[in-house]
Amino acid sequence: MARLQLKNVNKRWGSFVGVENFDLDIADQEFLVLLGPSGCGKSTTMRMIAGLEDVTDGQILLGDKVVNDLEPKDRDISMVFQSYGLYPNLSVYENIRFPLRVRKVPKDQHHDMVMKAIAMVELEDFMDRRPAELSGGQRQRVALGRAIVRKPTVFLMDEPLSNLDAKLRVSTRAQIKNLQSKLKTTTVYVTHDQIEAMTLADRVVVMNKGKIQQVGTPTDIYDNPANTFVASFIGSPAMNLVEGRLEDGVFSADGIRVEGLPASASGNVTLGFRAEDAEIVEEEAQISAPMYSIELLGEASMITWRLAGSLVSIKTNKEYRAEIGEVVKARIPAAICHLFDTKTGERIAHG
């Protein structure tokens, strides 16, 4: 168990910057999730922590020790790879046992340790099969079992659920959360799925184009996104963002007008609010515009308008009915609004 620190870590290939000034202190036993779109540098960051990729600049510390120059096998880290990385000619049992052989764990302890890991990932019935004889979900669990067979200082998990179907993903997600709370091992977990990040993380690091956009608890990131990138990445649906003008605390754009916002800012701003925080009303509305679409989600209906070039959605009760093109009104209280600088995307204020 240990604290993991990345101090101004950079990765460059020639002039291409893969990861830029990644600076983060991960606490002992923390479950940290790296979240961001494809190509933002998540795997590269993990691979540097694991020692599979050289650090161009900066330091990585495991406990109090700089590990930049340590071989992967000398860092006490287990990694679950984005693409399983199983040995095709070894059985499930031998795949899971493999790290014990590499790390020269005394042989007489192997069986107990392997069986414990196999039980944790529920593969008792598949021990003798080879990876080719397993489903994607079972292979993924072999990869997990291999990571947890010994108790490393740090777990690195790179999209460990990406090959599972939606249902299995939810149950395996719960299993990982449960495992981590039992094992209490510092974990860095990569995903591009914001729901996975929100449900698993103690803290989330949102990345884009090699740079950290925001670090915070899931609630922080959801309630106070630092910029429009984070706002548009977190939540389903993502936060509504409408570009317009702010003058004397009044935001206006085509079809929407919100009063009572901070008067300290003005000019071109982007107004943000969440679909579930607004409501359909008959009068005293901030939005009054023809409805663009209505979708039944099951537990609710989603009403969408097209305002100032953006699609804006709010949730309402599932019984709500209106025709496309009909004027529909909504209340957007200033208190639920977020303001961002349209040019930089940075947060200006909370309504």
Query: What's the sign of the alpha-carbon dihedral 14, 19, 21, 24?
Result: negative
Binding mask 24-43 for Mg ion (x = CB under 5 A): -------------------x
CB nearer to Mg ion: pick between 43 and 140: 43
Interaction between residue 192 and ligand ATP (CB under 6 A): yes
Instruction: Show Cβ contacts of residue 335 under 8 Å, excluding neighbours closer than 6 positions.
Output: 351
Q: Does residue 15 contact residue 61 with C-beta atoms inside 8 Å?
A: no
Told to check if 196 binds ligand ATP by CB under 6 A, we report no
Task: Give yes or no for residue 191 binding Mg ion (CB under 5 A).
Answer: no
Least spacing, CB of residue 315 vs ligand ATP, in Å: 29
* DSSP 8-state code for residue 337: -
Q: C-alpha 92: how far from its chain's center?
A: 29
Amino acid letter, residue 57: D
The token duo for 41 is: 């540098």
Rounded Cα distance, 301 and 279, in Å: 11
Q: Which is nearer to Mg ion, 140 or 240 (CB)?
A: 140
Residue position matching structure tokens 């609710």: 300
Residue 260 sits in the site that holds ligand ATP (CB under 6 A): no
Separation CA 238–CA 236 (nearest Å):
5
Residue 208 contact partner, candidates Mg ion, ligand ATP, none, CB within 5 to 8 A by sort of partner: none
Nearer to Mg ion, 5 or 43 (CB): 43
- Whose Cβ is closer to ligand ATP: residue 36's or residue 216's? 36
Site mask for ligand ATP (CB under 6 A), range 30-49, x = bound: ------x-xxxxxxx-----
At closest approach, how far in Å is the CB of 144 from ligand ATP?
18
Helices (H) and strands (E) in the chain, counts: 8, 21
Please state the separation of Cα 335 from the chain's center in Å: 27
Question: Number of residues in contact with ligand ATP, rule: CB under 6 A?
Answer: 13
* Strand partners for 340: 270, 347
> Which one, 43 or 228, has the nearer CB to Mg ion?
43
Q: How far is the CB of 135 from ligand ATP (least distance, A)?
A: 22
Smallest distance, ligand ATP to C-beta of residue 39, A: 4
Residues 81-110 that bind ligand ATP (CB under 6 A): 82
Position 5 contacts Mg ion (CB under 5 A): no
Rounded to whole angstroms, how far apart are CA atoms 36 and 84? 20
**Residue 274, SS3 per DSSP:** coil
Residues in contact with ligand ATP by CB under 6 A are 13, 16, 18, 36, 38-44, 82, 192
